[in-house]
Structure 1
Amino acid sequence: MLTESNSDGPVVPDGRLIRGAPMNKHSTFWKGADILAFNSYLWWMTGEKIQILKGADEDMSKDIVEMEAEEAYRLVLHQVTRWLERNVDPKSARVFFVTTSPTHAGAGGGDCYNQTSP
């Protein structure tokens, strides 16, 4: 999910809770990488509101807001972009964002076979 969540482990609980910031847990693995590929596929698969934990402390029970998936995705992409600007040298590393078409799994009644435009 690009950022820390309560579903980082092998068991996904009912109701995903995502930490909007900081990204310290995941970003420690990104530092110094020559190639970073971020997969945002699951953001399109929710079709529902996402719970976001605002704030930076370890208390996972407060400051929880519910957002539409697109709004939460925008918030997290902003956080990832800020981290990249501060921590990645564009002369020595490459960053890729990988996703899928919203129609891939039939969202809107279609599929993505032979789709050529975003």
Structure 2
Amino acid sequence: MANPPKVPIAETNPVPASVQDQIALALLANGGIPRIQAAFRQRLDEAGWSENLRNYVTALFRSGECTTFFEAMEKVKERVGLEGRDGFEGELVVPRSVGEEVAGVVRRELEGICEVGK
């Protein structure tokens, strides 16, 4: 990328779509997106979140409460939304530590392709 985009961290306005597109293309080109996905997946696995999700979905199908992927997805989204309220940390809420660690991975990937302001 000849002229890397500048992305001020403290900016309150959304990043323009053209800059978002440049960033996405650069992350695709340098393999950043798969690295971010792999880091997120690994941290979720380490935290037990992936297993909790798998167990919950398995229980939905075995109980007959859900019979399709779409029904199960709606139940998962509903459960995550309920568990994330009022500070309740349920088994399907992504742990804060995972979010913080992955945010660091994202920042490093962004710093590799653009100028990230303070």
TM over 0.5, shorter chain: no
Greater relative CO, 1 or 2 (CA 8 Å, sep 6+): 2
Question: Shorter-chain TM-score: what band?
Answer: under 0.3
Q: TM-score, normalised by structure 2?
A: 0.25
Greater C-alpha radius of gyration: 2
Query: Greater strand percent: which structure?
Result: 1
Q: TM-score, normalised by structure 1?
A: 0.25
Query: Greater helix percent: which structure?
Result: 2
